[in-house]
Amino acid sequence: MQQLTLTRPDDWHLHLRDGALLKTTVAASAQVFNRAVVMPNLVPPVTKVEMALAYRQRILAAIPDGLSFQPLMALYLTAETTVEEIKAAAENPHVIGFKLYPSGATTNSAAGVKSVEALAPVLEAMQHEQVPLLVHGEVTDHDIDIFDREKVFIDRHLVPITTRFPQLKLVLEHITTGDAVDFVMAANDNVAATMTPQHLLMNRNDLLVGGVRPHNYCLPILKRREHQQRLQQAALSGNAKFFLGTDSAPHVQANKETACGCAGCYSAPAALELYAEFFSQHDALDKLENFASVFGAAFYGFERNQEKVTLVRDEWQLPATLDTADGAIVPYYAGEKLQWQIKK
């Protein structure tokens, strides 16, 4: 196969940041994706509908001429989130749901949730109003090994949540383990998961062997090869519960290459090509369209996009760095060759 045309995809988990950097990040995603769920972990966090709408306007202002792009805003769930705010979110078509960050789990998550159990009233309201819950699924206890934090979160919190609130639409974001695959597959149809290119293409050897590679560092952290293989099997299975969410997360080079580097892989400049690389490696390009363009929209209740994009088999190399208003960024897969690229 030398060419593949598919329905224009959506990115169901995306970090765009804010300010001058939007000129770079919005353009990178808008050239490929029609819709994107925009994460709210700014400083300060986007906790209310009016804040999300103001952020959305800044994103819309950064879309290059001639491109269409629909930011779907997630709100940051905190201990102060009210039932009234849930209702306001449900009534606004530009707000897609609430993001649960355990406090301290990842970038800009200090304002996150310290007690999942205390969320019962708002989770009840989200279930009633059909407002999705998007979950960064890791515990943050210092005595829990970082490679086990997703599994512990699932056992400790997600199983009870989905048992108590079976009609709550829940997305376990950027899954990294076979335990997450098992949880999602065993759960009812209101539970789904997003998958990133880095967790499909890499495992922890790609982070740690031969020296630490900071631009492959993300949270949840890359796991063992056997967990990577379980994710791959789920993506290749054609199960509609698993779909594209890049978790593309830009950080300038200076903040990644430090003694305490930021977590996040900036995959947006080659997002669809990276997924194509994975499916092509497994002789399963026929599964890419559903994964990238169909399953996520169906789960969230959107119509399938009408536009098409075409990938051609034509080897190219990602640049070592990208210039932005905030400084140089090293993209995910920098300097590596990909076999597919989007036809202009």
Establish if 340 belongs to a structural domain. Answer: no
Residue 130 clears pLDDT 90, i.e. is over it: yes
Cα gap 166→163, rounded to integer Å: 6
Burial label, 301 (beta-carbon count in 10 A; 0-12, 13-18, 19+): exposed
Cα gap 203→341, rounded to integer Å: 24
pLDDT of res. 113? 73
Full domain range(s) for residue 204:
9-309
Tell me which residues are annotated as active site: 247
Band (pLDDT 50/70/90 cuts) for residue 103 is confident
Establish if 320 belongs to a structural domain. Answer: no
> How large is the average pLDDT for residues 288-307?
98
Establish if 1 belongs to a structural domain. Answer: no
Closest CA to 330 of 243, 266, 271: 266
Q: At 205, list the tokens.
A: 């050897």
Residue 23 clears pLDDT 80, i.e. is over it: yes
pLDDT of res. 261? 86
263-280 tens-digit pLDDT: 999 999 999 999 999 999
Among residues of the chain, what percentage have pLDDT more than 90?
92
> How large is the average pLDDT for residues 170-195?
98
Establish if 147 belongs to a structural domain. Answer: yes
Q: How many separate domains does the chain show?
A: 1
Residue 217 clears pLDDT 70, i.e. is over it: yes
Establish if 48 belongs to a structural domain. Answer: yes
Residue 4 clears pLDDT 90, i.e. is over it: yes
Establish if 337 belongs to a structural domain. Answer: no
Band (pLDDT 50/70/90 cuts) for residue 109 is low
> How large is the average pLDDT for residues 329-341?
98
CATH assignment of the domain containing 51? 3.20.20.140
Report the mean per-residue pLDDT for the chain: 96
Residue 107 clears pLDDT 90, i.e. is over it: no
Cα gap 322→311, rounded to integer Å: 22
Binding residues: 13, 15-17, 41, 99, 136, 174, 219, 247, 251, 263
Binding residues for Zn(2+): 13, 15, 99, 136, 174, 247
pLDDT of res. 265? 98
pLDDT of res. 110? 65
Establish if 343 belongs to a structural domain. Answer: no
Band (pLDDT 50/70/90 cuts) for residue 111 is low
E strands present in the chain: 3-7, 11-14, 35-38, 70-76, 95-100, 133-135, 170-172, 191-195, 242-244, 308-317, 337-342
Establish if 329 belongs to a structural domain. Answer: no
**Taking the mean position of all CA atoms in its chain, how far away is CA 252?**
19
Band (pLDDT 50/70/90 cuts) for residue 189 is very high
> How large is the average pLDDT for residues 231-259?
97
3-state helix/strand/coil string of 219-266: CCCCCCHHHHHHHHHHHHCCCCCEEECCCECCCCHHHHCCCCCCCCCC
